[in-house]
């Protein structure tokens, strides 16, 4: 089964589409944001550190993130059967380390699905999500900082994956069902 990265700005719908992809294709879903939020809610030492970055809309340090990801892969035996990576990699350092990590495991990244959404819609979606779920970093000030961080540190990965031929652009503006049917056509064609 394929290893897929779902890529896009905060609020682009990575979590929603990843769940559907995981279910239909039997992939293991790793959301780094969910992993970190679970640590925060349980008050673990990692959660305490992660919260300091997340509350300001910043990324957690690469070396820490890489250790967390490696732990997720090691502690879930079904990850050898294909994984959907949601929220990782988010920096060029992470993307480079990820290639080596996969190689070490005798595995490889097959494709990057890039959800492309208008910026105004991103902000509105996150504001709505904050109101519905109470997610702490979905407030306007933190949202703006997360978008800055995305443009500075994460969006260069789009070119990185275009250049190595793995990037597939997905229009992330329509309804979730439409997006998922477009994603399914791409995965079915592998």
**Rounded Cα–Cα distance for residues 13 and 15 (Å):** 6
Site string for ligand ATP, 60-89 (x = CB under 6 A): x----x---------------------xxx
- Which position among 14, 20, 125, 166 bears the catalytic label? 14
Within the chain, strands assigned E span 4-8, 28-31, 83-86, 111-116, 167-171
**Rounded Cα–Cα distance for residues 178 and 16 (Å):** 12
Of 33, 47, 30, 57, the residue nearest 123 (C-alpha): 57
Of 177, 60, 160, the residue nearest 109 (C-alpha): 160
Residue 129 is among the residues annotated as catalytic for this protein: yes
Q: Is 14 in the site for ligand ATP (CB under 6 A)?
A: yes
Residue 146 is among the residues annotated as catalytic for this protein: yes
Q: Is there a contact between 153 and 53 (Cβ–Cβ < 8 Å)?
A: no
Q: Is 10 in the site for ligand ATP (CB under 6 A)?
A: yes
Q: Is 130 in the site for Mg ion (CB under 5 A)?
A: no
- Which position among 20, 90, 125, 166 bears the catalytic label? 90
Residue 105 is among the residues annotated as catalytic for this protein: no
Interface positions with Mg ion (CB under 5 A): 15, 33
Q: Give the binding site for ligand ATP (CB under 6 A).
A: 10-12, 14-15, 32-33, 36, 53-54, 58-60, 65, 87-90, 94, 146
């Amino acid at each position: 089964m394929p290893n897929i990265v779902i890529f896009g700005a905060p609020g682009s719908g990575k979590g929603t589409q990843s769940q559907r992809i995981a279910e239909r294709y039997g992939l293991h879903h790793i959301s780094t944001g969910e992993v970190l939020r679970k640590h925060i809610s349980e008050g673990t030492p990692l959660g305490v550190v992660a919260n300091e970055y997340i509350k300001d809309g910043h990324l957690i340090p690469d070396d820490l993130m890489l250790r967390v990801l490696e732990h997720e892969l090691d502690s879930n035996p079904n990850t050898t059967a294909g994984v959907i990576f949601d929220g990782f990699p988010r920096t060029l350092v992470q993307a480079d380390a990820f290639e080596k990590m996969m190689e070490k495991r005798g595995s490889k990244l097959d494709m990057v699905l890039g959800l492309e959404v208008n910026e105004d819609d991103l902000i509105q979606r996150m504001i709505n999500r904050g109101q519905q779920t109470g997610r702490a970093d979905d407030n306007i000030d933190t949202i703006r900082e997360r978008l800055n961080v995305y443009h500075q540190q994460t969006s260069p990965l789009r070119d990185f994956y275009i250049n190595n031929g793995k990037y597939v652009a997905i229009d992330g503006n329509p309804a979730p069902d439409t997006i998922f049917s477009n994603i399914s056509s791409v995965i079915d064609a592998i």
